[in-house]
Homo-oligomer: A and B are copies of this chain.
Amino acid sequence: MPRENKTRYALLGMLTYKPMSGYDMKKMSDHSIGHFWNENYGNIYPVLKKMEAKNLVTMTREEQDGAPTRKVYTITEEGRAAFSQWLSRPPEPAILREELLLQVFFGQWTNPKLITAKIREEDERCRSIIRELEGIRDHMDSGGNIREVPENSRQVMREGTPYWRHTVEFGLHYYSGIRDWCAETIKALEERRGEKDENNRIGRKSQG
């Protein structure tokens, strides 16, 4: 028996705020939970279809001026029940498959400068994400993100903000940890390369 689909709960959770289309949910996903939850259209649309079939959501078509017709999904009471039930269950731990680390592990088979360059890339990527997350955290109380939400959902989002903040703090810890490892590892690799160069300059004393 394979894994249980979790996209379902991410979508149901978003729909507790307001009815949305698949496209809206992708955008909200990218902006609010994207730092810890990857989601893509390849999942969203088939899962929405399945949830509609199981009456976890209902769908209405909404025509709009200046943009194509949308399919707007609304959570049902059954959907709310399924969502709450999931919330009471233990989460599954993360599964890691870090390709960079696999390449580092086998690093003796390639140019050490190449390994260092890759870790530098990852370092930059982490720093970039950290800056984004800091921006989110620092503007979280301005209420800017609430503006697009109907008045009756504002209280709900206000109550959810501290939890959102905890997830942004998670992202900051996560990427900071990796960024720090990057810095240490680059330093260590360059020192080891320095030692090697030193050995070479002294006169090929080392067999290494």
Contacts and interface: CB of A to CB of B under 8 A. Distances in A.
A95 B94 CA distance: 10
Given A35-B96, A36-B98, A90-B118, A106 B160 contact: yes
A15 to B, nearest CB: 11
Interface size grouping (class) on chain A: 35 or more
A163 B103 CA distance: 9
A98 to B, nearest CB: 5
A101 B185 contact: no
A106 B173 contact: no
A68 interface: no
A50 interface: no
A177 B167 contact: no
Interface in A105-159: 105-110, 114-115, 118, 121-122, 125, 156, 159
A169 interface: yes
Contacts of A22: none
A13 B102 contact: yes
Interface string A70-98: 00000000000001101110111111111
A49 to B, nearest CB: 21
Interface of A: 6, 9-10, 13, 16, 32-33, 35-38, 83-84, 86-88, 90-110, 114-115, 118, 121-122, 125, 156, 159-160, 162-164, 166-167, 169-170, 173-174, 176-178, 180-181, 184-185, 188-189, 192
